[in-house]
């Protein structure tokens, strides 16, 4: 099975990060400021480059938002929870994982991956079922950040959270009705942050596995953010707290 990546940034970052996984590239034009870096990297690793019209590329990509570029690549690699914990223990910082409970919109999935990478998350954990896939749509929404993130796909989110807790990692879930604000909580410990689905939030069973349930204070008479925006707010609050603690040492 292969993945069809489309768009300038996803294809370019794939060529930078895992060129051997790229099986071929199709372009709608032979040169240009945004195309030349792709051609240069493809030539360096002898990747087959073909040319075709925008309509054919849209058909291959399964999207009109392809920017004249589509690449066929191997699937993204996956890591087991125990390896995530072991790897985090070797780093000179606290563990920080993002756990996605039934995030099914690939646009939100990709945007969360981008925010996770930029806020210092070490891995994204998500379930096999009721979840968006690591595909071209998610890669495009992540603007290529997907290439630099570690992923862990699990059968049971609750079991994965229990394992993380047994390894000394605190589990914090986002819950709109919680009285505990993300700004009042200490988020500097080893942490797994759980984000719920776009419509229903964290499932009840997953909620029970959380050590903390935190809300995002809001103004303006509106009490809802989409999953990608809410996730970004919380992840960057974690980074802010950790940077502040580091500055005080």
Condensed to tens digits (0 to 9), the pLDDT of residues 78-100 reads 999 999 999 998 888 899 999 99
Check residue 249 and give its pLDDT: 44
Condensed to tens digits (0 to 9), the pLDDT of residues 22-40 reads 999 999 988 889 899 999 9
Domains of the chain plus CATH, in order, are: 3-73 (3.30.1330.30), 81-247 (3.40.1280.10)
Per DSSP (E only), the strands in the chain are 3-6, 22-27, 49-51, 69-73, 96-100, 123-127, 151-154, 170-174, 191-195, 212-214
Give the whole-angstrom CA distance, residue 244 versus residue 74.
40
Contacts of 185 (CB under 8 A, 6+ apart): 172, 212, 214
Condensed to tens digits (0 to 9), the pLDDT of residues 95-138 reads 999 999 989 999 999 999 999 999 999 999 999 998 999 999 99
Condensed to tens digits (0 to 9), the pLDDT of residues 135-190 reads 999 999 999 999 999 999 999 999 999 999 999 999 999 998 899 999 999 999 99
Check residue 246 and give its pLDDT: 57
Nearest to 29 by CA among 5, 58, 53: 53
Residue 230 confidence (pLDDT) above 60: yes
User: Is pLDDT larger for residue 48 or for residue 201?
Assistant: 48
Residue 214 confidence (pLDDT) above 90: yes
């Amino acid at each position: 099975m292969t993945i069809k990546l489309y768009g300038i940034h996803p294809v370019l970052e794939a060529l930078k990060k895992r060129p051997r996984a790229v099986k071929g590239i199709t372009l709608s034009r032979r040169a240009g400021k945004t195309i030349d870096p792709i051609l240069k990297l493809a030539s360096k690793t002898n990747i087959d480059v073909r040319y075709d019209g925008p309509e054919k590329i849209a058909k291959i990509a399964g999207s009109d938002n392809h920017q004249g570029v589509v690449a066929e690549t191997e699937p993204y690699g996956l890591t087991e929870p125990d390896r995530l914990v072991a790897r985090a223990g070797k780093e000179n910082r606290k563990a920080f994982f993002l756990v996605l409970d039934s995030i099914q919109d690939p646009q939100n999935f990709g945007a969360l991956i981008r925010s996770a990478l930029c806020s210092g998350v070490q891995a994204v954990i998500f379930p096999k079922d009721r979840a968006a896939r690591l595909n071209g749509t998610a890669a495009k929404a992540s603007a290529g950040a997907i290439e630099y993130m570690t992923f862990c796909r699990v059968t049971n989110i609750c079991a994965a959270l229990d394992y993380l807790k047994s390894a000394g990692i605190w589990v914090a879930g986002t819950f709109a009705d919680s009285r505990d604000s993300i700004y009042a909580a200490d988020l500097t410990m080893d942490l797994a942050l759980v984000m719920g689905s776009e419509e229903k939030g964290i499932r009840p069973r997953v909620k029970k596995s959380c050590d903390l349930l935190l809300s995002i204070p809001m103004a303006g008479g509106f009490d809802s953010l989409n999953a990608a925006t809410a996730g970004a707010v919380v992840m960057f609050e974690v980074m802010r707290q950790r940077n502040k603690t580091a500055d005080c040492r």
